[in-house]
Amino acid sequence: MFRLAHLSDPHVPPDGPPRRRDLLSQRAIGWVNWQRNRRRVHVRHVLDAVTGDIHTHAPDHIAVTGDLAIVSTPAEWRACRAWLDHIGPPDKVSLVPGNHDTYVRRAVTGTELAWREYMAGDPDTLAHGGFPYLRRRGPLALVGCSSAIVTAPFLATGKVGRDQLARLEMLLARLGREGWFRVVMIHHPPTREPGDRFRRLLDAREVAAALERAGAELILHGHEHRATLRWLPGPVAPIPVVGVPSASALEHSGRPAAQYNLFDISGMAGAWSCRMIVRGFDGGVLHTLCEQELRTGRDEVAPCAAAPRAG
pTM of the model: 0.93
CATH number of 2-293: 3.60.21.10
Phi/psi-derived region of residue 195, left when phi > 0, alpha when psi is between -120 and 50, beta in every other case: left
pLDDT in tens, 228-249: 999 999 999 999 999 999 999 9
Using an 8 Å Cβ cutoff, are 204 and 295 in contact?
A: no
Distance CA 216, CA 310 (A): 28
Annotated domain spans of the chain: 2-293
Using an 8 Å Cβ cutoff, are 271 and 251 in contact?
A: no
Output the pLDDT for position 133. Answer: 96
Output the pLDDT for position 300. Answer: 56
CA distances (Å), 22 to each of 18, 61, 72, 77, 256, in order? Answer: 6, 34, 9, 12, 32
Low-confidence ranges of the chain (pLDDT < 70): 22, 24, 125-129, 192-195, 296-302, 305-311
Distance CA 181, CA 37 (A): 40
pLDDT in tens, 79-91: 999 999 999 999 9
Output the pLDDT for position 299. Answer: 54
Output the pLDDT for position 38. Answer: 81
